[in-house]
Amino acid sequence: MLALPATQPCIAPRLQQQQQHGRRRAAAVTRAGPPEQHACNGSKKKLAVFVSGGGSNFKAIHAACLKGQINAEVVAVVSDVPSCGGVAYAAQHGIPTLTYPASKKGLFPGLTPQELVQQLKHELGADYVLLAGYLKLIPVELVSAYKRAMLNIHPGLLPSFGGKGLYGERVHAAVIKSGARFSGPTVHFVDEEYDTGPILAQRCVSVSPTDSPKQLAARVLEQEHQVYPYAVSALVDGRITWREDGIPIIWEAS
C-alpha cells in the first residue's frame, strides 16, 4: 500500500524545490506501508451525519455508500434545523433523524448532549460522526465519545479562513477579499473548537480576482463532493494512521 497525497497541491514557483524534496522524503517514509492493524476488516460501518441546510455533502456521502464506494451506511441524521433540506432528504430515504440542540425560543424540542451521545453511540451504534454543513459547536461530550472518529468539511483551506462565524459564502467572500489565489475544501477531525482539529485532506481550486463568492463557492463545492467521500472511505476502512506529532495520514487502498 502506498500513501498518496490527499491534496491537489497549490504550487507556487518558489515552493517547487521544497515540495520535490518533500515528495522524496514521503516516498522513503511510506514505502513499507501502514501498520497491519490498520487494514480494512470488511465490516460495514455506521455513520451519523449532522446537517443544518440542504445537505449536499450528506447526499454525496449517502450516494457513495449506496454505490459501495464507502463501506458504510448512514444510520442517523442530526440537525439543529428540523425543517432543513437535509432532514427532508433523510426522511425520504428512511434514515432516522434527531434534533440537537433544542430551539432556544422553544419552537421545537431537542436532545441534551448526554442524550445525543446515548442515542448515537449506544442505541444506534454509530461508529463515526460526520459534520456536513452543521453550524453549531459540537458538545464536548460528543467530541470525547468520538475522539479521532468525527470529521468536518470546511469550504476553505484551513488553518486560514476558519473559525466561528466563517461558513458558507462568508468564507468565499473572505478569500476573495484577501487576494488569495487558491482556495478549496478541507476535511479535518473535530475537536472542541471551530475548525481547529487536525487536517486530513484538502483540494485546491484557483481564485480569480473577478470571482464572486457564488462563483467560487460552486467550484469549491464540486471538490467538496469528491474529497469528503474519499476521506470518509479511508476513515471507515481503517486507512488512516497518525504521526507522532498528531498529524493524520491517509493510505491508498490496495
DSSP class of residue 248? E
**Run of H or E including 201:** strand 199-202
Write the DSSP string, 39-98. Answer: S---PPEEEEEEESSS-HHHHHHHHHHHTTSSSEEEEEEEES-TTSHHHHHHHHTT--EE
Regarding beta strands 97-99 and 72-79, do their DSSP bridges make them parallel or antiparallel, or are they unpaired? Answer: parallel
Q: How far apart are the first and last CA of the chain?
A: 5
Q: What are the beta bridge partners of residue 205?
A: 183
Assess whether 225 carries a catalytic annotation: no
Q: Round to whole Å and give the CA distance between 193 and 91.
A: 30
* Catalytic member of 154, 172, 188, 225: 154
Cell of 251: 493510505
Closest CA to 52 of 92, 97, 83: 83
Q: Round to whole Å and give the CA distance between 247 and 98.
A: 32
Would you please indicate which residues are annotated as catalytic (active-site) residues? 154
